[in-house]
Amino acid sequence: MPDKIKYAIARTHPVIHHLPQFRPIKRGARQKAVERQYTSKNGETTVTISMFKELDIADQDLLLAILAIALPHDRGAVLDLKKMNNTLISDLELKGELTKFNTLSIKTNSYELIKELGKKKSAQAYEWLIDSLDRLCKTYIKIDTKKYIGGTNFLSYFIHKETKEIEIAINPISAVVLMGDSDGYIFSNRHERLQLKYDTAKALHSVLVGLVNIHSSDTYAINMLIEKVYIVQFKLLNKDERKNRKKAIMSAVSEINQLQDWNIIILNNNRIKVSRNGDITNPQW
């Protein structure tokens, strides 16, 4: 399955990556009208994320695929707002200083996106794709910093029903990091991600990608990782919930440990040491 991935590397803005947005969700347990808040470590940036429908790990897979395709050296094109599809403009719901930022557009089709996700082409996969794009489109982020305040949706999309061609506009915050040259990106290896079978492992992989720089290592409390993966306060979980989530995290650790560029050592019952390697200059990394 990973060999079918054409766009291996996705990079995201640290603020966007660390948002409490995607989590493993059991069938029928997706919440509606969810709002969460994230404050950067330096306390200078506060981001509020509002979701019409809660986002799961499959939605994250799709967003990462879109971001990978949208890299300027691949397929991303800077949008001219004067010539931009009016539907895409209105659906981004740009407000504040973000209206002055550049954004990116990609043109693709349903088959390419479904293939990039490692799924088989089918009517069911197409229906899921539309639903997922809709959830991402209806997710709004408000950013408040010392210098500016603004808001935008994750993305907007426009589909031609006959040809299945899809035009997607990326929100300005993601576009800035995709177009820029400065440090601070968070790199996700989609080849690695598609080798992971379970949603908890994918969610933990995403958390660790945001915490551990390439060619470095660090130690982390398992309780903290549970909070980030499941977007829940550990102290609010009952005894059985703590036990079950810890078991799932340890299983995810074992799964990630099978990946070539990761080494995770269980230090004790409460902490792990994580080491990460890789080469972002390698298109097949």
Instruction: Please give the Cα distance from 13 to 171 (Å, whole number).
Output: 11
Predicted local distance difference test score (pLDDT) of residue 169: 85
Note the pLDDT of residue 200. Answer: 97
pLDDT, position 1: 46
Alpha carbons 212 and 206: distance in angstroms, whole number: 10
**pTM value?**
0.85
Degrees, nearest 5: CA angle 246-248-249: 65
Tokens representing 198 are: 């379970």
State residue 174's pLDDT score. Answer: 63
What is the helix, strand, coil percentage profile of the chain, to 5? 40, 25, 35
- What percent of the chain lies above the pLDDT cut of 90? 47
Do 151 and 95 touch, CB atoms closer than 8 A? yes
**CA separation (Å) from 133 to 138, 158, 237, 278?**
9, 10, 32, 30
Give the pLDDT score at 152. Answer: 80
pLDDT averaged over consecutive 10-residue blocks of the chain (285 residues)? Answer: 73 77 90 88 85 94 90 55 52 56 80 92 94 93 82 86 88 59 73 94 95 92 95 90 95 96 91 88 56
Burial (Cβ within 10 Å: 0-12, 13-18, ≥19) of residue 4: exposed
**251 class by beta-carbon count within 10 Å (0-12 exposed, 13-18 middle, 19+ buried):** middle
Q: What backbone phi and psi angles, to 5 degrees, belong to 22?
A: -110, 140
CB atoms inside a 10 Å sphere around CB 240 = 8
Query: First vs last Cα of the chain: how many Å apart?
Result: 15
CB count within 10 Å of CB 111 equals: 13
